[in-house]
Amino acid sequence: MTQPPGVPHQTQQTSTRLSDGRELIYFDASEASAALHRDTASTTDRRGLPPRGSAGTARYDALTGEWIAVAAHRQTRTHLPPADQCPLCPTTAANASEIPASDYEVVVFENRFSSFGPDLGSLPRSAGWGTTATALGRCEVVAFDSSHEGSFGSLPPERARTVIDAWAQRTEALSAMDGIKQVFCFENRGQDIGVTLLHPHGQIYAYPFIPPRAAVMGEQAVAFSDASRGTSTLLGSALQAERDSGERMVIEGDHFSAFVPFAARWPLEVHLVPHRQVPDIAALTPAERDDLTTVYLDLLGRVDALYSTPTPYIAAWQQAPLDARLRPASYLHLQLTSPRRAEDKLKFLAGSEAAMGAFINDTTPELVADRLRNAVPVSSR
């Protein structure tokens, strides 16, 4: 971290509204930046945007018991604009962007092309074939830095730490909103993943239901906890086993460790896990957030050191569902996955994966872990 030893990281928040009513929040570690954003004259959105459109819909799939969002309005969202038209860069005379200020550290705002929301509330408790409801919830964009180039891994530690504080604050705030069942922070990096904006950013989805994968992991965690009569957690036991073995370990920090999971689905997959069971990022202590900053940047540097070009990935924060039965056994962790299986090859979901959800990995977790352990992080070169 860049602050002097013993001086805690302090993040200030300044909330405002864009011209169509969407909320925007500046997160600042420096007082000078915070003061700029408290000046409403310099942070007013003068674009005069039209009122927000109505929310999309959610359709119930009776064959699987899952809700599917239908968001046809997203077809018109911005797609890989040139740098001088980037909607995540600070506003200039030539480019009135989504961020009215002339500069910023970290910004979170409601997505203009939202898959869920802006309406809040609960989905129907009873659903069957043909059930359609409003796609309730909220989707937010997290701009990691005012610079147009890079990703989370290229951030300086101080800025990365501010992003973590933003994730924590938004997780806590979104979790308290009416009808929200799951808060999901994530970063998509690379055009091969489907990124539509090159500016370093991530997103946060606040779902009105528990997504299928989170539900499966929650049920597994509950079953393990029940079998141990509450004396241990599923992921905690897995973490301890990996640390004892060392075969698939990549990094061990003071409060966080990273390892390649025993049954990895993807050719490149790493789990980043806190040593203490917590439900979400908001529950991390300042010391844990500091260590997360260090370990996460180290991990991303190793991922990018594997090949001569940046590796596309999805960094997905698995936080505990907002469910009284699933939450106590759940355990915060990051799942970083990439379809890159070689310098010039990507794994595409074929029949077994796409149709049946039965994954076939083209690499061994042990080999991937060994390569990551021996990689020299890009930031250390």
The dihedrals phi and psi of 344, each to the nearest 5 degrees, come to -120, 25
Please return the burial class of 133, using the count of CB atoms within 10 Å of its CB with bins 0-12, 13-18 and 19+: middle
266: helix, strand or coil: coil
Considering the candidates 201, 255, 275, 333, report the single residue annotated as catalytic: 201
Task: List 315's β-bridge partners, or say none.
Answer: 187, 336
List own/partner pairs for 271-274 with CB under 8 A and 24 or more apart: 271/333, 271/334, 271/335, 271/336, 272/296, 272/299, 272/333, 272/334, 272/336, 273/235, 273/239, 273/331, 273/332, 273/333, 273/334, 274/332, 274/333
Q: Distance (Å, rounded) from C-alpha 295 to C-alpha 285?
A: 15
**DSSP label of 197:** -
Question: 271 an active-site residue?
Answer: no
How far, rounded to the nearest angstrom, does the alpha carbon of residue 315 sit from its chain's CA centroid?
6
User: DSSP string covering 130-185, please?
Assistant: T-EEE--SEEEEEE--SSSS--GGGS-HHHHHHHHHHHHHHHHHHHTSTT--EEEE
Whether the Cβ atoms of residue 189 and residue 162 lie closer than 8 Å to each other: no
Instruction: Output the CA angle 4-168-152, nearest 5 degrees.
Output: 70
**DSSP label of 99:** B
Task: List 60's β-bridge partners, or say none.
Answer: 67
Whether the Cβ atoms of residue 351 and residue 358 lie closer than 8 Å to each other: no
Q: Catalytic amino acids?
A: 201
